[in-house]
């Protein structure tokens, strides 16, 4: 399969090489040649019909990236990544077709059932032949759903597009905001993303509009395979509100090894963005083989007065999670929130947290992080709270709790506090504990199995965060925690 793909790619590359600009948009092939070079960048940009300025931007990022080194400060062991041994552009892949659900890896099937996913949807997720039809129906369904949604959104003036479309249709807006919050040279992975991002989402909420529904990539037609280098940009204009859901609670056996996404949020005066993520990518097997490396840069700019950004994340997947959704609180009275549950099992490694950069007067932030480690995993909270000299009356409250299940895992807390204004009030608390025997005994005496009892207690531990999630996410996230812990007790 991959040989064929490789050959195709090379053929395409050769064909493309005869064109004056290397790669142009009218080439029909599906894959960029393996490896990363300026040509790859040109190919992606050409494939997407991008204007020249976008290509220049990508190339600039690529050249910058060549000079950068992968960060090594996180408490993780990252195997060396061969950036030349990867595809940087692939049109949506066709899934391997299964004859029926019975052929599906029973482990995945069991997970689907535990999550309570309807049979038909299971078939779609698993890519069962015949269910393709269902899938098409389902897609048609969601197309129609999406279309009705689009109508409604259009009426409200909300722009909700893939970023490639947005680059073509709203170039001024993209030029104005892209790279404004996460600059092109921000860090190794963000720079890589800037060069080769394949797709993503652009959302603009106009002044005074409360987005009539929760936006989710799930409803976007071309979100089927957004690829490994996703780019998301959300701009909330004055007085607007939007809630954005990212991710999918169903375990997708994504083959992409490396994910390096960038998410940029901008909130103007009185605007509010609520960004919720449930990340459940393949974590690798119990011996730590395989799994996704997830290096994500997420940052919000609370530029306006009284603007607010709230990050909520439930991270249970990926072999490696490197992710610090942050808020630059520049606006007077702006508010940043970070609610996180990160669960690691087996040999997973998570180094995640947030940065709250207080620049505006009266800005406030809240950080609640719940880390759960099991198996032989390592789970680190890494955070920064910084108060600039002109930021008066800043308030921050941080709470990081760690729960250890088993004596072979690790739980770490690395908070940085840097305060340069005396009127700031910064509080940080952290605790580390294990499940108490009493709690476990009590739950089991009420008839719960040990596994269910642990899941229940873990859910209680994470409750403060889970309750921040939109309803439909919260229910599945709870189940997910239980599932992710399987095999870690007893």
Partner 1 sequence: MSLLELPSNREERWRWSDLSALPEIAARAPSGQMPERLPWLDCATPGPRLLFVDGRLVADASEPGDVALGTVEAPVGEDALGRLVGSEGWTLRLGSGHAPLGLVQVIHVSTGAADHLPARIELDVDAQASIVETFLGDGWTNRLTRITLFKGARLMLSRRILTASGYVSLSDRVAVGEGASFVLTTLAGGGADTRFDGEVHLAGNAGFAEVGGALLARGRQRHDANLVIRHEQPNGQSRQVWRSVADDQATCSVAARVEVARGAQKTDGEQSLKGLLLSRTATINAKPELEIFADDVKCAHGATVGELNRDALFYLASRGIAPAEAKALLTASFVADAIERIGEEDVRTAFLDDANAWLAHGGAQS
Contact 327, 338 (CB under 8 A): yes
Enumerate residues 6+ apart whose C-beta is below 8 A from 487.
Answer: 286, 345, 346, 375
Which backbone phi and psi does 389 adopt, to 5 degrees? -65, -25
Yes or no: say if 395 and 425 are a contact pair by the CB < 8 Å rule: yes
Cβ distance 208 to 240 under 8 Å? yes
Among the residue ranges 26-34, 140-148, 229-237, 429-437, the one whose residues contact partner 1 (CB under 8 A): 429-437
CA distances from 332 to 253, 301, 359, 390 (A): 44, 12, 8, 11
- For residues 262 and 343, which CB has a smaller minimum distance to partner 1 in the complex? 343
Contact between 73 and partner 1 per CB under 8 A: yes
| Contact between 450 and partner 1 per CB under 8 A | no
Q: Does 423 interact with partner 1 (rule: CB under 8 A)?
A: yes
Q: Which of residues 341-360 bind partner 1 (CB under 8 A)?
A: none
Question: Which stretch, 37-45, 294-302, 312-320, 419-427, contacts partner 1 (CB under 8 A)?
Answer: 419-427
The residue within the footprint of partner 1, chosen from 320, 356, 367, 424 (CB under 8 A), is 424
- Provide the H-helix boundaries in 157-273: 163-169, 171-177, 188-196
The distance of closest approach from Cβ of residue 31 to partner 1 in the complex, given in angstroms and rounded to an integer, is: 40
Q: Looking at 63, 114, 420, 463, which residue binds partner 1 (CB under 8 A)?
A: 420
Considering the complex, what minimum distance in angstroms separates the CB of residue 432 from partner 1? 4
Count of other CB atoms within 10 angstroms of residue 326: 24
Nearest distance in Å: CB 418, partner 1? 5
Tell me whether residue 225 or residue 432 sits nearer to partner 1 (CB atom). Answer: 432
Which residue of 212, 389, 460, 487 would you call a contact of partner 1, by CB under 8 A?
389
Is residue 412 part of the contact set for partner 1 (CB under 8 A)?
A: yes
Q: Does 71 bind partner 1 (CB under 8 A)?
A: no
Separation of alpha carbons 137 and 123, rounded Å: 12
SS3 103: helix
The only residue of 411, 457, 465, 469 in contact with partner 1, by rule CB under 8 A: 411
CB atoms within 10 A of CB 466: 21
Work out whether 51 is an interface residue with partner 1 (CB under 8 A). no
Closest to partner 1 by CB, 162 vs 352, is 352
Both tokens of residue 308? 């607010």
Closer to partner 1 by CB, 2 or 433: give it. 433
Count of residues touching partner 1 (by CB under 8 A): 36
Smallest distance, Å, CB 182 to partner 1?
22
User: With contact defined as beta carbons under 8 Å apart, do 335 and 308 qualify?
Assistant: yes
Q: Which of 271, 357, 409, 443 binds partner 1 (CB under 8 A)?
A: 409
Binding of partner 1 by 408 (CB under 8 A): yes
Of 146, 426, 453, 462, the residue at the interface with partner 1 (CB under 8 A) is 426
Q: Is 419 in the site for partner 1 (CB under 8 A)?
A: yes
**Residue carrying the six token digits 């020249």:** 52
Do 246 and 105 meet the contact criterion of CB atoms below 8 Å apart? no
Window contacting partner 1 (CB under 8 A); options: 94-102, 300-308, 316-324, 404-412: 404-412
The answer to whether residue 139 forms part of the interface with partner 1 (CB under 8 A) is: no
The token pair at 122 is 């299971």
Q: How far apart are CA 180 and CA 176, in angstroms?
A: 8
Among 404, 456, 469, 480, binds partner 1 (CB under 8 A): 404
At 409 the three-state DSSP class reads coil
| Residue 108 binds partner 1, judged by CB under 8 A | no
Q: Does 77 bind partner 1 (CB under 8 A)?
A: no
Establish if 428 lies at the interface with partner 1 (CB under 8 A). yes
Nearest-5° angle of CA 20, CA 24, CA 25? 160
**C-beta closer to partner 1: residue 57 or 338:** 338
Q: How far apart are CA 108 and CA 124, in angstroms?
A: 13
Q: Which is nearer to partner 1, 280 or 413 (CB)?
A: 413
- 447 scored as a contact of partner 1 (CB under 8 A): no
Query: With 0-12 CB in 10 A as exposed, 13-18 as middle and 19+ as buried, what is 82?
Result: exposed
| Residue among 141, 177, 142, 144 at smallest CA distance from 159 | 177
* Side-chain-facing half-sphere of 441: CA atoms under 13 Å: 3
> What track of x and - describes contact with partner 1 for positions 368 through 387 (by CB under 8 A)?
-------------------x
CB of 420 to partner 1, least distance (A): 5
Q: Which of 413, 415, 409, 463 is nearest to 434 (CA)?
A: 409
Question: What is the contact surface with partner 1 in residues (CB under 8 A)?
Answer: 73, 75, 387, 389, 402, 404-434
């Amino acid at each position: 399969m991959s040989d064929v793909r490789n050959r195709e790619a090379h053929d395409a590359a050769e064909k493309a090489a005869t064109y004056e600009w290397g790669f142009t948009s009218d080439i029909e092939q599906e894959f960029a040649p393996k490896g990363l070079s300026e040509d790859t960048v040109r190919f992606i940009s050409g494939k997407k019909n991008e204007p020249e300025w976008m290509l220049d931007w990508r190339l600039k990022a690529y050249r910058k990236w060549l000079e950068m080194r992968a960060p090594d400060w996180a408490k993780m062991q990252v195997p060396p990544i061969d950036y030349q041994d990867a595809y940087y552009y692939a049109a949506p892949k066709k899934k391997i077709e299964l004859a029926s659900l019975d052929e599906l890896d029973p482990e995945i099937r069991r997970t689907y059932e535990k999550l309570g996913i309807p049979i038909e949807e299971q078939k779609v997720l698993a890519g069962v032949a015949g269910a393709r039809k269902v899938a098409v129906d389902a897609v048609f369904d969601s197309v129609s759903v999406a279309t009705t949604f689009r109508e409604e959104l259009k009426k409200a003036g909300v722009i909700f597009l893939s970023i490639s479309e947005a680059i073509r249709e709203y170039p001024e807006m993209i030029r104005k905001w892209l790279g404004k919050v996460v600059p092109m040279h921000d860090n190794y992975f963000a720079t890589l993303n800037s060069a080769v991002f394949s797709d993503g989402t652009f959302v603009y909420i106009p002044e005074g509009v409360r987005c009539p529904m929760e936006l989710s990539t799930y409803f976007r037609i071309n979100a089927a395979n957004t690829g490994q280098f996703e780019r998301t940009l959300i701009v909330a204009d004055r007085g607007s509100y939007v809630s954005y859901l990212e991710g999918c609670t169903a375990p997708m056996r994504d083959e992409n090894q490396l994910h390096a996404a960038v998410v940029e949020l901008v909130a103007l005066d009185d605007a509010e963005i609520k960004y919720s993520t449930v990340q459940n990518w393949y974590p690798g097997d119990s011996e730590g083989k395989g799994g996704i490396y997830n290096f994500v840069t997420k940052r919000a700019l609370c530029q306006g007065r009284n603007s607010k950004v709230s990050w909520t994340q439930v991270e249970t997947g990926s072999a490696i999670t490197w992710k610090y959704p942050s808020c630059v609180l520049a606006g007077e009275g702006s508010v940043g929130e970070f609610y996180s549950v990160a669960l690691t099992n087996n040999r997973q490694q998570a180094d995640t947290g947030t940065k709250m950069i207080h620049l505006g007067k009266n800005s406030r932030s809240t950080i609640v992080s719940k880390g759960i480690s099991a198996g032989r995993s390592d789970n680190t909270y890494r955070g920064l709270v910084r108060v600039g000299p002109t930021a008066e009356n800043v308030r921050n409250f941080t709470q990081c709790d760690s729960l250890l299940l088993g004596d072979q895992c690790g739980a770490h807390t690395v908070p940085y506090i840097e305060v340069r204004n005396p009127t700031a009030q910064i509080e940080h608390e952290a605790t580390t504990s294990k499940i108490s025997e009493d709690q476990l005994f009590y739950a089991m005496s009420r008839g719960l199995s040990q596994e269910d009892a642990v899941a229940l207690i873990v859910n209680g531990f994470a409750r403060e965060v889970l309750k921040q999630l939109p309803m439909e996410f919260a229910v599945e996230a709870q189940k997910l925690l239980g599932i992710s812990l399987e095999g870690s007790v007893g």
